[in-house]
Amino acid sequence: MTNITLSIDDNIYKKMKKFSDIKWSSFVREIISKRIEELEKIKSGVYADEKLLAENWMSEEDNIAWKDL
């Protein structure tokens, strides 16, 4: 595994220290991986997240309001 160095604003670093239970290196690795996946989808012509599109975005109130339409 390759190591990289990352500069973080002092204020952000202080806030990160308050959440010492979070493994920040793992968090950053995961975020970078997700972003790479998004960029690869865009480059390959897949512009939408199929999982996100499959989700029902309607609330219970929406379902009640639209049930007869």
pLDDT digits over 2-54, tens only? 999 999 999 999 999 999 999 999 999 999 999 998 888 877 776 666 676 66
Q: CA nearest 2: which of 31, 29, 24, 30?
A: 29
Top-confidence residue, 32 or 57: 32
* 5 inside domain: no
- Looking at the structure of the chain, the number of domains it has is 1
Determine, yes or no, domain membership for 10.
Answer: no
CA distances from 33 to 26, 42, 43, 55 (A): 11, 14, 15, 22
40 lies in a domain?
yes
Residue 7 lies in a domain: no
Residues of the domain holding 34: 23-66
Instruction: Answer whether 28's CB lies under 8 Å from 20's CB.
Output: no
